[in-house]
Amino acid sequence: MLDLAIIGGGPAGLTAGLYATRGGLKNVTMFEKGFPGGQITQSSEIENYPGQKEVVTGMDLMQDWPEQCSAFGLKHEMNEVTKITKSNDIFTLTLIDGTSQEAKAVIIATGSVPKRANVKGEDTYFGKGVSTCATCDGFFYKGKEVAVLGGGDTAIEEAVYLSKICSKVHVIHRRDTFRAAPNTIEHMEKANNIELILNSGVDEIIGDTSGMTGMKIKNNDTGDISNLDVPGVFVFVGRDVLNETLKQEDGSFICNMNDFGEVIVDLSMKTSVPGLFAAGDIRIEAPKQVVCAAGDGATAALSAIAYLG
Ligand code: FAD
Ligand code: NAP
């Protein structure tokens, strides 16, 4: 049986692993369904991680974290956890490969995934023009025009990134003011090949057998529809937390959640279930920053050490 199971290998899970093992726990496994690093590995640049003076890609930032953890004894299993249950003070993790694993304490750090805009054609052309990762797919549009949907930090940062690869980037936003940070908007304003389509949404993504060829754009003020001929659109309309693992047979959650499906924790990252801790983007009021997720992971690990006595 594990002393501690950590679910998710993003900044929160990896930092929890570092603090738990360095803090003396012997039998700690981090379950990560893909490669460790988390969603920041999809970011083209990060410039707000303390101590990191140079602007680096998310992949570069996270590169050494797993090795640092394994040096202190963190075990990493590439496996997806599908369910967590608790009985007689012991947690059971059900894994996608059909096996299970018992643990005395659990830290859930499964983060979040991109939301879909739910527009006509989005599913049909997903992976054939519609993308949620500029770092992954931007290069396919070198020298071409593309569109970005959204007005948050991700949309604007990634629009700036794409503007360096593509001939023109059309940013489509449903309002005329942006949610993105002022510094990020300044970067966008400096780019001379970003065009704004404000107070507008995507009515339909259109294409043919080869993939997406364009979009119908609807002006929210006038209701007018216009065509935008682009082979690619990057959809950055927010993220949904990944909380499926916490669902029980009867559809309820193992611990208390808020209306957005985020885990309710106290300042020690304790959930309503003794021995279950949550860290990073999955918890209530998460600032959704790498540094905060890492801080949560450290706090959760220290709380788990105290719980295990
Ligand atoms: P995540 O990073 O989402 O990691 C969760 C991990 O859990 C993932 O690796 C996932 O594969 C794994 N997982 C999920 N479910 C399971 C399961 N059932 N079993 C096993 N493994 C599972 N923050 C900043 O501070 N600065 C930035 O500049 C910045 N830029 C960003 C740019 C982009 C494009 C994006 C998407 C985010 C950006 N963020 C930025 C936000 C930052 O990446 C997140 O706040 C942070 O990664 C959250 O960390 P986390 O560990 O909570 O979750
Ligand atoms: P976000 O902040 O939730 O922004 C989502 C954007 O998409 C908003 O502009 C929203 O419009 C728009 N939108 C939502 N649903 C839509 C729909 N169906 N159709 C069209 N537009 C829609 O999401 P995010 O940008 O992915 O950021 C997530 C979190 O990560 C944030 O907390 C962010 O600060 C953080 N993050 C930080 C950095 C950084 O620190 N540099 C970088 C990236 C992300 P409205 O504005 O009208 O609501």
Domain that holds residue 84: 2-114+239-308
Residue with tokens 């519609």: 130
Predicted local confidence at residue 47, as pLDDT = 87
Dist. CA 241 → ligand 1 center (Å)? 10
- Regarding whether 186 and 82 lie in a shared domain, the answer is no
The span from the CA of 68 to the CA of 234, in Å, is 34
Measured CA to CA, the distance from residue 221 to residue 304 in angstroms comes to 52
Q: If you take atom 29 of ligand 2, which residue's CA is the nearest one?
A: 288
C-alpha 228 to ligand 1 mean position (Å)? 32
Residues with catalytic function: 133, 136-137
Which ligand is nearest to the Cα of residue 182, counting in written order?
Answer: 2
Are residues 159 and 19 part of one domain? no
Q: Are 213 and 130 in contact (CB under 8 A)?
A: no
* Weakly modelled stretches of the chain, pLDDT under 50: none
Collapse the DSSP code of 70 into the 3-class scheme (helix H, G, I; strand E, B; otherwise coil) and give the result: helix
Domain with residue 14: its CATH number is: 3.50.50.60
Ligand 1 centroid, distance to 92 Cα (angstroms):
24
Nearest to 17 by CA among 279, 270, 240: 279
Render pLDDT for 60-114 as a digit per residue (tens, 0 to 9). Answer: 999 999 999 999 999 999 999 999 999 999 999 999 999 999 999 999 999 999 9
One-letter identity of residue 137: D
Instruction: Specify the number of domains making up the chain.
Output: 2
* Closest-approaching ligand to the CA atom of 187: 2
Say yes or no: 60 and 75 in one domain: yes
Q: Are 4 and 304 in contact (CB under 8 A)?
A: yes
Cβ proximity of 231 and 146 under 8 Å: yes
**pLDDT of res. 145:** 98
User: Do 196 and 248 share a domain, yes or no?
Assistant: no
Q: Is residue 76 part of a domain?
A: yes
Same domain as 231, residue 245: no
Q: What are phi and psi of 29, to 5 degrees?
A: -120, 135
Residue 229 within a domain: yes
- Asked if the structure places residue 119 within a domain, the reply is no
DSSP 26: S
The residue among 131, 168, 116 whose CA lies nearest residue 146 is 168
51 shares a domain with 104:
yes
Domain end, chosen from 214, 235, 256, is at 235
Shared domain for 216 and 264, answered yes or no, is: no
Tokens of 109: 């750090």
| Mutation probe of ligand 2 site: the residue of 154, 173, 175 with most atoms within 8 A of C-beta | 154
pLDDT for 171 equals 98
Is residue 124, in this structure, part of any structural domain at all? no
Q: Does residue 145 sit in the same domain as residue 110?
A: no
Q: Give the list of residues 6+ apart from residue 65 with CB closer than 8 angstroms, or none.
A: 11, 14, 15, 18, 36, 37
Q: What is the pLDDT of residue 64?
A: 96
Whether 122 is in a domain gets the answer no
Which tokens belong to 19? 């603090």
Residues 224 and 147 in one domain: yes
Burial of 8-27, coded b for 16+ CB within 10 Å and e otherwise, reads bbbbbbbbbbbbbbbeebee
Ligand 2, residues at Cβ distance < 6 Å: 48, 117, 149-155, 157, 174-175, 179, 201, 236-239, 288-289
Q: Does the pTM of the predicted model rise above 0.85?
A: yes
Give the distance from CA 181 to its chain's centroid.
18
CA distance 15 to 301: 8
**Which residue is closest in CA terms to ligand 1's atom 36?**
39
Out of 7, 33, 39, mutate this one to test ligand 1's pocket (max ligand atoms within 8 Å of CB): namely: 39
Q: Is 181 exposed, middle or buried (0-12, 13-18, 19+ CB in 10 A)?
A: middle
| Confidence (pLDDT) at 135 | 83
CA distance 204 to 147: 13
Shared domain check, 94 and 23: yes
Does residue 121 belong to any structural domain of this protein? no
How far apart (Å, rounded) are the C-alpha atoms in residues 92 and 105? 10
Q: What's the pLDDT at 174?
A: 98
